[in-house]
Amino acid sequence: MKSSKKMFNGVFHGQKKEIKDIREIIRKFTKPEIECSVGKKIKVDTRVIYPIIQTLVVQGEKGFTVTEIFPIALVIEENNEKYVISILESLDDPEIFIEMIKSK
C-alpha cells in the first residue's frame, strides 16, 4: 500500500499542502466510530477462546463509508480461570476484556 505522502504527493484539490494539513482536512470531513466486541467463541479441548475485535467505521459527509475490522486480544478460559493475550503491544486494562466475556 502506498503511503499517504506518495498518494497525495503534497497536492490536495490543486493546492500545495503539507501532509499533516491534508490529514487534518480529511478528519474534518469524517466521523470515526470505534467499537470493541466479542467474536464467536472457539472451543479447543478444555479451553474456550474469545477473540476481542475492534471495529472502526468512518463515514464521510459525501456518503462514503470505510470499515476496518481487526483483532486486538484473545480472552482464554480454562479450568475456570480467564486470562488475556494481547495482539497489540500493550493493553491499558485487560480486565475490561474479561468483563466483556462475563456479560456475554
Strand partners, 7: none
Q: What is the pLDDT at residue 83?
A: 92
pLDDT bin (cut points 50, 70, 90) of residue 10 is very low
Grid coordinates of 15: 493546492
Q: What is the pLDDT at residue 33?
A: 81
Check pLDDT > 80 for residue 5.
no
Average pLDDT over residues 97-101: 89
Q: Check: CB of residue 98 under 8 Å from CB of residue 84.
A: yes
- What pLDDT digit, counting tens, does each position of 16-65 carry? 556 566 666 666 666 678 888 999 999 999 999 999 998 888 776 677 77
Q: What is the pLDDT at residue 27?
A: 64
Helices (H) and strands (E) in the chain, counts: 3, 7
- CA distances from residue 27 to 10, 24, 37, 39 in whole angstroms, order as listed: 17, 5, 24, 29
**CA 13 from centre of chain:** 29
